[in-house]
Homo-oligomer: A and B are copies of this chain.
Amino acid sequence: MAAGSRVERVLAGDARALATLLRELDDGLPAARQDLRTLYPRTGGALIIGITGNPGVGKSTLVDGLIARYRRQGQGLRVGVVAVDPSSPYSGGALLGDRIRMQRHATDDGVFIRSLATRGQMGGLSRSTADVAAVLDAAGFGVVLIETVGVGQAEIDVVTAAEVVVVVTAPGLGDDVQALKAGILEIADILVVNKGDRDGADRALRDLTAMLELARPLRTPPVDLLRTVAATGEGVEALAVAIDQRRRLPDDVRAARRRQQAQAQLMAIVGELGRRAVGLALGTATKPGPLAHLVDEVAARSLDPHTAAEAVLRAGLIPR
């Protein structure tokens, strides 16, 4: 890479180069993709933590507490945050909401916060989340926190990017145990009952303990259960310690997980590129693509859609 290239500036900690790269990645610019390729072998150093849970459980306050904790840890440990909001009308660059939520870190050079909105396309979100985390990782952030609301596909996607997944719940949000969808529990490494000083917290912890006991034979290592009061900071240190423990898993367990994540990421991107490539190959009625004749034949009933679909796949998909 040339001296002073954007990749070099990102690696040197230039926040402006970093922000530009992330914005251009979001817009799908080829130069940004090339930079991501160049940066990829530098990833793998960061501790990437996924924080997910229903609205109102206090995820942002917990993330705020973890930022402060990791910043205090010293050695100039920089912290990146990717806040994924599937309901946000903002596009990729909106920082205002996060700066308000986490304003005490707004002037801290060692903290970088990036919001991602879905723009209605869940598949794309998964890719962007992983891309942003990878860039922050390569750029030398020691910790990357991915905060996502536990609805729809997003809470599953976070698993493909994070090394440790923390699922946050809170008492008083309906039937607490039932409110945790089965899928959410399957992805949790650590389960947190936040707002742990509220009525119902003891009961929620009891219920969850019983449930995790039932699930124990299925999970190695077992899911950790913790109580926090993010608003006062209570339990945040214990959470950070539990997260750290996960890094001390046997190498083969960590390697198996990395491979699973690589496969899930790969399949998500193949799906997205594939959809785009098929769309271009078929084209539209006014601007037909090279395989438009297949659409015409299906519409004319001379070819069934299954045989046509197989022909599309056999023709090979050239990603663009």
Contacts and interface: CB of A to CB of B under 8 A. Distances in A.
A305 B271 contact: no
A36 B307 CA distance: 10
A295 B296 CA distance: 37
A318 interface: yes
Interface string A282-320: 100100000000111011011111111110111011110
A255 interface: yes
B318 A270 contact: no
A44 interface: yes
Contacts of A267: 275, 278-279, 282
Contacts of A317: 313-314, 316-317
Contacts of A270: 274, 278, 309, 312-313
Interface core residue of A270, A273, A309 (most chain B CB under 10 Å)? A270
Interface string A258-272: 111111011101110
The oligomer's copy count stands at 2
Given A259-B296, A301-B44, A319-B314, A269 B37 contact: no
A242 B178 CA distance: 46
B319 A41 contact: no
Interface residues of A, number: 53
A242 B294 CA distance: 32
Interface of A: 33, 36-37, 40-41, 43-44, 130, 134, 255-256, 258-263, 265-267, 269-271, 273-275, 277-279, 282, 285, 294-296, 298-299, 301-310, 312-314, 316-319
19 contacts: A36-B304, A36-B306, A37-B304, A40-B304, A259-B285, A261-B299, A262-B296, A262-B299, A265-B298, A265-B305, A266-B309, A267-B275, A269-B305, A270-B312, A271-B274, A273-B313, A313-B318, A314-B317, A316-B317
